[in-house]
A = this chain, B = another copy of it.
Amino acid sequence: MPKTLDLGSKNLLVGADVGGTNVKYVVLDAAGRRQVQDSIPTDPSDPAGTIARLAEVVGVREPAGVGLACAGIVSPATGFLGRSPNLPGWENSDLTGALQAAFSGVPTAVANDVNAALYGEFHHGAGRGCRHLVMIALGTGVGGGLLVDGKLVTGFADGAGEIGHMTLDPEGPPCTCGNRGCLESYCGSVGLVRRARELAGTDLATDAWKAMIAEHGSDLTPRHFAELAAAGDIVATVLFVEAGRRLGQAVASLVNVLAPDRVVIGGGVAQAGDLFLLPCRELVARHVMSEAGRGTPVVAAELGPFAAAMGAAALAAEAGAVT
């Protein structure tokens, strides 16, 4: 932490992002610069205790606002967390109540983690200057968020943004949700690993690929093939191009429906970069109806793992501006 940071300043914003294992947090100054960026462990059975501990560790006395992002279905209106597969012990807890108890009455905001990451990219990252954005976060699952006219779209029962479960082929591979052919079944870690094993049994398989599959059993992750892809392995290339084309099919449909200014691709898997994004962009250029839409930029997220904490802080700033 820079020595110049005044913990009593009333212009500081706090943003935090609660995941299954830790709570990432940032402290932003009045200019939106990250003055602090750190994390504490999540207590999987004690939301109020975790948030109280966060307030202690952060140490800012009277922030201009505190925002909290959380994995799962978050209701910004009621402040409650609903279904949350990664945080079952936090389900049905009053996030806003816990925040206000821990930070004594400052303006607060809560949001789903992908929505918060989108809002972070909108304010500080790859979505700056836009009014309409789509974000797709590629990880173990595939999450999504929408911004229309500068506002996050939450929808009925806060259910919007399940981009990972768009059906790309009703006869496609099985998805963790029980259906077939969802975007997640092609572009989530589980789907990519399944396809990596399949490809090891084909004539295409290189020695390096077979060695990778043999070396990593159940701990195989897309990171391993990203390394081979960077080294030019043909199987890795095929795998990411296939997945990138499926991503492109979903993105093209989203551009047709929503006409965003830009589409932001985030999450760990997206670090395969152009190998993923180039085939995706090709599908967008081909399958979007309007000429303007075919040029929609599909770009990598910029903020990295603290995007949701940054976005939560930005949402809190707006909550503060309203009150």
Verify if A321 is at the interface (C-beta below 8 Å from B).
Answer: no
Question: Using a CB-CB cutoff of 8 Å, which residues 245-259 of chain A contact chain B?
Answer: 245, 249, 252-254, 256-259
Are A293 and B166 in contact, with the CB atoms below 8 A? Answer: no
Question: Are B289 and A177 in contact (CB-based, < 8 A)?
Answer: yes
| Bound CA–CA A257/B161 (angstroms) | 5
- Interface magnitude class on chain A: 35 or more
Evaluate contact between A170 and B292: CB separation under 8 angstroms: no
Query: Within the assembled complex, what's the spacing in Å between the Cα atoms of A249 and B73?
Result: 23
- With A and B bound together, what is the CA distance between A167 and B159 in angstroms? 23
Give A144-162 as 1s and 0s: 1 = Cβ < 8 Å from B's Cβ atoms. Answer: 1010110101111111111
Residues of B within 8 A of A158 (CB): 259
* Chain B residue, CB-CB nearest to A291: B83
Nearest Cβ distance between residue A295 and chain B, in whole angstroms? 10
Given A167-B249, A249-B170, are A160 and B257 also a contact pair (CB < 8 Å)?
yes
Partner of A157, one of B159, B253, B292: B292
Instruction: Decide if B286 touches A153 in the complex (CB within 8 Å).
Output: no
Rounded to whole angstroms, the CA-CA distance of A165 and B164 in the bound complex is: 19
Question: Any chain B CB within 8 A of the CB of A132?
Answer: yes
The answer to whether A292 and B159 touch (CB under 8 A), given A149-B151, A166-B256, A287-B179, is yes
Q: CB distance A258 to B151 under 8 Å?
A: no
A232-279 interface (Cβ within 8 A of B): 245, 249, 252-254, 256-261
Q: A185 near B: Cβ within 8 Å?
A: no
> A residues touching B (Cβ–Cβ < 8 Å)?
73, 83, 132, 144, 146, 148-149, 151, 153-167, 169-170, 177, 179, 245, 249, 252-254, 256-261, 283, 286-290, 292-293, 296
11 contacts between A and B (CB under 8 A): A155-B258, A155-B260, A156-B260, A156-B292, A159-B292, A162-B289, A165-B256, A166-B257, A167-B249, A167-B253, A167-B287
